[in-house]
């Protein structure tokens, strides 16, 4: 196994106490990482320095409640932060997605000691990685990793894949089952003995996420590291939907980033078509209309994304079942639309750019590769199924559905 150097914690990351501060920090960070996106993708480089810089921004603490030193940010603010960063580099945008979901899990389900230990580390700049999925299972949360009690304490053995962010995180939360078959998250310090993370991530897109294999070999687990999830949910909540809307933000960010870069390429490197009788490619009416159509598509996806995030905030403020269900379906719509628009724009935006757009030096192909890779995370077709069933029969997925 090949390990990167573990990133240090900031002594105390700044607390971003308002949406304006959070969005300003996101824009500054996005501007910092954008110039290296093509090179990181080409070299499959682990973004160690960039993620260390992310830890210093205070953005990782946005989901931590104010009373625990965090930003206490709304879903709408966090989603916009993800969209901004993902427009600059969606691989770096995706890395903290599970971090924010696990912060949410601790806020919802953690005990006082766990919140003090783990959320306290987050406000100091620590980041959670991810070791959830296993290859060969029936679905993404089908796990064979068991937390076992032995004569000398708790032990964890297993093998995970799609471990986004685990390589460079300070904590690696592992999805496991306890001996009663109940689902738990085990928060492991990244440098704990028996935990190793490989760089065997070979996907053609989202390369800098380094979402490879995590191996757990007889890891000693302290009881306070074990977050027990509800065995049965009597009614639906928005825990899964919050994770889904962050994925949607990555897709919508990809679409916006691709369209903006295509427009720049058109203005600096493309040539006019001889039949157009214009001086600039941007003066050809068909090109103008083409980019205008794509702009409408991206704006529609951005609007659905913002509406979905605000629906989550409304359900958090007033968790009546009808508001929770509306929020879940709103996220499903944003997720479906964002995925489809990302794939459309990252392909069609190149159509008016000419042959120069295919030059590897510009890396324009990475947008489609990133979109195609990320949108395979879970099937868009099932978002349409849920929305269609609700429209036709008033049916909403039950509380046991972990992807809506």
pLDDT (tens place) for every residue of the chain, 404 residues total: 444 445 555 557 899 999 999 999 999 999 999 999 999 999 999 999 999 999 999 999 999 999 999 999 999 999 999 999 999 999 999 999 999 999 999 999 999 999 999 999 999 999 999 999 998 877 777 899 999 999 999 999 999 999 999 999 999 999 999 999 999 999 999 999 999 999 999 999 999 999 999 999 999 999 999 999 987 788 999 999 999 999 999 999 999 999 999 999 998 878 787 887 888 888 899 999 999 999 999 999 999 999 999 999 999 999 999 999 999 999 999 999 999 999 999 999 999 898 989 999 999 999 999 999 999 999 999 999 999 999 999 999 999 888 88
Model pLDDT, residue 275: 85
Q: Would you mind telling me the total number of residues written for the chain in this entry?
A: 404
Sequence-ordered list of residues with C-beta below 8 angstroms from that of 379, at least 6 positions apart, any chain: none
Q: Please report whether residue 181 resides in a domain.
A: yes
Residue 216 β-bridge partners: 158, 195
Q: How many domains does the chain have?
A: 3
Q: 3-class DSSP state for residue 165? A: coil
From CA 261, how far away is CA 284, in angstroms rounded?
18
The Cβ-side half-sphere exposure at 281, using a 13 Å CA radius, reads 20
Q: Please report whether residue 137 resides in a domain.
A: no
Q: Please report whether residue 404 resides in a domain.
A: no
> Do 247 and 330 share a structural domain?
yes
> Do 369 and 260 share a structural domain?
yes
> Which residue matches tokens 């921004």?
57
> Do 365 and 282 share a structural domain?
yes
Domain that holds residue 246: 239-393
Model pLDDT, residue 276: 78
> Do 58 and 116 share a structural domain?
yes
Last residue of a domain, one of 228, 252, 279: 228
Model pLDDT, residue 6: 53
Q: Report how far apart the first and last C-alpha atoms of the chain are (Å, whole number).
A: 35
> Do 385 and 283 share a structural domain?
yes
> Do 103 and 162 share a structural domain?
no
Model pLDDT, residue 8: 55
From CA 377, how far away is CA 404, in angstroms rounded?
13
From CA 317, how far away is CA 309, in angstroms rounded?
13
Q: Please report whether residue 100 resides in a domain.
A: yes
Token pair in block for residue 106: 């601790």
> Do 375 and 274 share a structural domain?
yes
Model pLDDT, residue 4: 46
> Do 185 and 218 share a structural domain?
yes
> Do 30 and 93 share a structural domain?
yes
Q: Is residue 144 within 8 Å of 255, Cβ to Cβ?
A: no
> Do 357 and 254 share a structural domain?
yes
> Which residue matches tokens 């639309």?
337
Sequence-ordered list of residues with C-beta below 8 angstroms from that of 351, at least 6 positions apart, any chain: 290
């Amino acid at each position: 196994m090949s390990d990167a150097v573990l990133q240090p914690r900031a002594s105390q990351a700044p607390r971003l106490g308002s949406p304006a501060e959070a969005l300003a920090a996101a824009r500054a960070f996005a501007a910092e990482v954008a110039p290296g996106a093509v090179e990181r993708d080409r070299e499959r480089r682990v973004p160690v320095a960039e993620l260390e810089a992310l830890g210093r921004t205070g953005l990782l603490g946005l989901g931590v409640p104010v009373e625990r030193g965090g930003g206490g940010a709304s879903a709408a603010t966090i989603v916009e932060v993800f969209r901004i960063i993902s427009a600059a580099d969606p691989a770096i945008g995706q890395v903290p997605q599970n971090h924010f979901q696990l912060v949410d899990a601790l806020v919802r389900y953690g005990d006082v000691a766990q919140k003090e230990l783990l959320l306290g580390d987050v406000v100091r700049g620590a980041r959670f990685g991810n070791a959830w999925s296993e290859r060969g299972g029936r679905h993404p949360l089908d796990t064979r990793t068991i937390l076992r009690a032995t004569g000398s304490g708790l032990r964890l053995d297993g093998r995970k894949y799609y471990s986004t962010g685990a390589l460079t995180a300070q904590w690696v939360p592992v999805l496991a089952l306890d001996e009663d078959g109940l689902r738990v998250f085990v928060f492991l310090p990244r440098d704990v003995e028996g935990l190793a993370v490989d760089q065997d991530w070979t996907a053609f897109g989202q390369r800098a996420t380094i979402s490879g294999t995590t191996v757990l070999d007889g890891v000693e687990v302290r009881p306070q590291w074990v977050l027990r999830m509800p065995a049965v949910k009597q009614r639906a909540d928005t825990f899964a939907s919050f994770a889904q809307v962050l994925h949607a933000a990555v897709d919508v960010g990809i679409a916006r980033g691709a369209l903006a870069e295509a427009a720049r390429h058109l203005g600096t490197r493309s040539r006019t078509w001889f039949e157009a009788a214009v001086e600039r490619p941007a003066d050809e009416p068909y090109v103008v209309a083409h980019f205008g159509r794509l702009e409408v598509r991206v704006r529609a996806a951005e609007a659905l994304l913002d509406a979905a995030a605000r629906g989550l905030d409304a359900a958090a403020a007033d968790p009546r079942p009808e508001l929770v269900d509306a929020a879940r379906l709103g996220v499903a719509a944003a997720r479906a639309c964002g995925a489809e628009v990302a794939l459309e724009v990252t392909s069609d935006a190149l159509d008016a750019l000419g042959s120069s757009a295919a030059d590897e030096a510009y890396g324009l192909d990475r947008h489609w590769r990133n979109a195609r890779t990320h949108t395979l995370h879970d099937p868009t077709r099932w978002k349409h199924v849920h929305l269609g069933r609700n429209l036709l029969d008033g049916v909403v997925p039950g509380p046991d559905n972990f992807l809506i």
